Each structure stands twice: as C-alpha cells, then as structure tokens.
Amino acid sequence: MTSIGEVKLALEQSCELLRDAYRCVREAESALVEAVDALGKASANHHQPLLPPEFAKAREMFADELELIVTSLELARRLTTEL
C-alpha cells in the first residue's frame, strides 16, 4: 500500500517535471519563432517559399500546450496541498 507521503513525493516530482516541460516548450517556441523569421526573410530572395506550412501550425499549438502544462501543474499543486 502506498502512503500519503509517497503520493506527495510523486506529485512534487511531477510538478518539477511539469516545470521543466514548461521551460522546454517555451525554449522550443522561441527557437521556432526564430526559424520562422529567418525562413521568412530568406524566402524574400528565393523563387519559392521556404517556410513549411506545418511551422505555422506548430507555432499556433504552443499556446495550447503551455496552457495544458500550467493547468496540470496547478492541479498537481492543489492536490499536494490537500493531502
């Protein structure tokens, strides 16, 4: 049987992983924005667009992913506090 302490520890570890995931997603978002900007500028001097349409879609999805991470983190913190 798992103790309350073990559950709290697991939740705290989950929170740390969620914080790490948030930082990683923000860094990835920043890198993608830079890539999109660079490809956009390079496309001006090229006969075909260099920017894959999937990049724009991925850029839009970051906000949803970050919101999901933040919501999960808040719920895990609340549960840890309530235990």
pLDDT over threshold 80, residue 1: no
**Are 79 and 11 within 8 A, CB to CB?**
yes
pLDDT at 71 > cutoff 70: yes
pLDDT, position 20: 98
Mean pLDDT of 63-80: 95
Q: How many domains does the chain have?
A: 1
Burial (CB count within 10 angstroms: exposed 0-12, middle 13-18, buried 19+), residue 63: exposed
Domain with 11, as residue range(s), is 4-82
Q: What is the pLDDT of residues 26-70, one digit of tens each?
A: 999 999 999 988 888 888 888 888 888 898 888 889 999 999 999
DSSP string, the chain: ---HHHHHHHHHHHHHHHHHHHHHHHHHHHHHHHHHHHHHHHHTTSSS--S-HHHHHHHHHHHHHHHHHHHHHHHHHHHHHH-
